[in-house]
Amino acid sequence: MKEALLYEKLNARVVHCYLCAHYCKIANNKFGLCGVRENVGGVLYTHTYGNVVASHIDPIEKKPLYHFLPGSNSFSIATIGCNFRCGFCQNWEISQEPAYNEGARLSEEEFLPQDLVEEALRNDCPSISYTYTEPTIFFEYAYETAKLAKAKGLRNVFVTNGYMTKDCLKEIAPYLNAANVDLKFFKDSSYRKICSASLGPVLDSIKLMKDLGIWVEITTLVIPGENDSEDELSGIAKFISGVDKNIPWHVSRFHPDYKFTGYITTPEETLKKAKSIGEGMGLKFVYAGNVCGWGNDTLCPFCGKVLIKRDVFNIMEYHMRENKCAYCQNTIPGVF
């Protein structure tokens, strides 16, 4: 275990965690809601440092990030735990496993931050993605890795639910280049019922990321009967448009999983409706996720030509000159 960052010692060996927007007050010998930060004798420790449970080389498009180093691979890692309790989580086997479970999936071998950076370099990955589970709750590990990665010329990416505190985000910002934020609902009641969280901090994180110069893309998993109404999709699109019309919005197809096996797969017509709503709100880049044959290409918002043609995560055509459209020479927002 490693002593955690961003917490305060209170009386009676209680600690107050300032890492995520739950702001847990944790009694001695207890864990925070994330299940991986433990108060031991009035000192907060993290169980995730060096404990990688998943590591892969992924296309950056899988995050999904379509305007950040497109066509590159990203060395992707995760530890156990999450500060949300989403019933539709596709990685629930690792995200919903707390460290206090007997037989919890902790690494048999410790992988230090320098080990991760060396693996990324060895595999010609220009970035490291902290993903699969929630990177906020393995903050100390991601933070130390990100600092070393930046020093070696690598970029850093969070795939996140956005439920971190401002202190957390400002701490990592000098080393964090891009983030895909899940904006799951636009109703606080849905966040509370399904995720055991709330909407406001997620919206605040998106706005703060933008202010801090982090490249932001947003994903909404469109779940039939939960967030697929025109009002809710319009609310999300209007919010994104109000922050920056250049933020890419990924509306992704839901597949039944975990506690949501009784739901149907999202009809493609629903995604087409969501895409149309986003574009109607002025968003310049709206993509459909988990579908084939449409909704994945990047079009120039100025001349309408196809700049990046995709087949799932594969780039079939690329018509960019650095960050400019090869046809009309207008600048395209992103990191190319």
Annotated binding site: 82, 86, 89
Of the candidates 176, 177, 195, the one whose C-alpha atom is nearest the C-alpha of residue 185 is 195
HEC profile for 27-79?
A: CCCCECCCCCEEEECCEEEECCCCCCCEEEEEEHHHCCCCCECCCCEEEEEEC
Amino acid identity for residue 18 in this structure: Y
C-beta of residue 214 within 8 angstroms of C-beta of residue 266: no
Three-state SS at 122: helix
Of 280, 281, 263, 180, nearest to 227 by C-alpha is 263
Specify whether the CB–CB gap between 265 and 304 falls below 8 A.
no
Per-residue tokens: 186: 């636009």
Residue numbers in the known binding site for [4Fe-4S] cluster are 82, 86, 89
Check if the beta carbon of residue 248 is closer than 8 Å to that of residue 307: no
| CA 147 – CA 77 distance, rounded (Å) | 16
* Dist CA 69 CA 335 (whole Å): 6
Measured CA to CA, the distance from residue 3 to residue 23 in angstroms comes to: 17
